[in-house]
Structure 1
Amino acid sequence: MATITFDTLALADKLKAAGFDAAQAETVVRVIVEAQDNMVTRDYLDARLSENKVDLIKWIAGMLLAQAGLIAALVKLF
């Protein structure tokens, strides 16, 4: 996944200047750094979209075949 590089110490200093105590500032910075591991990139979304398109096309084709079979069975029945 993508990683955004930033100065964590500068961020902690800015948080402290804004009124956070040292422990709060450190916790916020750690949460942001850990959140980077769960970021979704454009490449990931594009890959998932293409996978979902293939699955959707397969499902629609299966439903069309099932519908054709059902119609053929009903025509034969009547």
Structure 2
Amino acid sequence: MTAIAFDTLKFAKRLKEGGFTDQQAEALAQAEAEFIEQSLAAKRDVKELETAVKRDVKELEVALKRDIEELRADLKRDVKELETAVKRDFKELEVALKRDIEELRGGVKRDIEELRADLKREVKELEYRMTIKLGALLVVAVGAMATLVKLL
């Protein structure tokens, strides 16, 4: 506790020398002593309050740093989980796309084979028709030659 030396007797004597009565001088000296004591108490309270505020600020700073570190750790964990989920989703998408491409490839191969088979069948049919037409032409030509041979 900080103490200040205030001589009330000396203060009262000066007041008496200045024209105050004994009673006035003593009352004023006592009031001044109480005022000084209250001022010192107020300063002490302010100092205690300042210390308490500094302590509270330090505690808040420590708590805030801890909260920030916890948040940072949570964010890192969340980002890692998200990264893992995205990788998994991409892998699943890749597998699904490969499967779809293979299905399409198989479908295209089937379609091509069907087209080839249809084309071969149509070519075969065309060959048969041409053979029949050529045979008919040959019969007509032989018949025409036979007729010409008979006529000549």
Secondary structure of 1:3's counterpart equals coil
Q: Distance in 2 between matches of 1:60 and 1:6?
A: 42
1:50 counterpart = 2:51: yes
Equivalent residue for 1:6? 6
List aligned pairs for 1:27-66, cutoff 5 A: 27-38=27-38, 39-40=40-41, 45-56=46-57
- C-alpha RMSD of matched pairs (Å): 3.8
Secondary structure of 2:2's counterpart equals coil
Unmatched segments (≥5 aa) in structure 2: 64-152
Equivalent residue for 2:126? none
Unmatched segments (≥5 aa) in structure 1: 63-78
Equivalent residue for 1:17? 17
- Per the normalisation by structure 1, the TM-score is 0.51
Cα deviation digits, residues 17-40 of structure 1 (max 9, x gap): 112121111101111222343214
Structure number with bigger Rg:
2
Secondary structure of 1:6's counterpart equals coil
Cα deviation digits, residues 39-78 of structure 1 (max 9, x gap): 147665443213113435667899xxxxxxxxxxxxxxxx
Letter in 1 for 2:24: Q
- Per the normalisation by structure 2, the TM-score is 0.33
Greater share of residues in helix: 2
